[in-house]
Amino acid sequence: MSTTTPEKILLEKTRDTMQRLHYSIHTERTYCDRITQYILFHYLQVRAVLLIEPEKKVEVFLTYLAVQDKVAAFTQNWVFNTLIFLYKRILEYSNNLYACVIAREKAL
């Protein structure tokens, strides 16, 4: 009996897509790690739940990384690009996730 969870199916589709698009193995592993972290952070059990208010979910996750994990801006951007890849390429979500990001002013 197979123990295939929705998360495993999602990650397998991510790996297949990234290999088809010739992403490096390092990028593939990093994306899958961050997607797993995102899914666990939101306690997501079902794939369809990912598509309920995704902008809010992304914003909350990025805020958590910045405030609690204190990750650098580069890492936040990397994670944001990972989530864009997840929603556009894997989940085929057509709305724009950029609405969840508030532009910040450059320091003078």
Contacts of 79 (CB under 8 A, 6+ apart): 34, 38, 61, 62, 65, 71
Task: Give pLDDT, residue 22.
Answer: 97
Dihedral of the alpha carbons of 7, 15, 32, 90, in degrees to the nearest 10: -70
Task: Give pLDDT, residue 105.
Answer: 38
Q: Are 17 and 57 in contact (CB under 8 A)?
A: no
Q: Is the confidence at residue 19, as pLDDT, over 80?
A: yes
Higher pLDDT, 104 or 39: 39
| Domains in the chain, CATH or no CATH each | 6-100 (1.10.150.130)
Mean pLDDT (the chain, rounded): 86
CA atoms of 23 and 80, how far apart (whole Å): 17
Structure confidence by residue, pLDDT tens digits, 32-78:
999 999 999 998 777 788 888 999 999 999 999 999 999 998 999 99
Contacts of 36 (CB under 8 A, 6+ apart): 7, 11
Q: Is the confidence at residue 103, as pLDDT, over 60?
A: no
Please give the structure tokens belonging to residue 58. 């992304």
Q: Which band of pLDDT confidence, cut at 50, 70 and 90, is reported for residue 15? A: very high
CA-nearest of 43, 37, 39 to 75 is: 37
Q: Which band of pLDDT confidence, cut at 50, 70 and 90, is reported for residue 87? A: very high
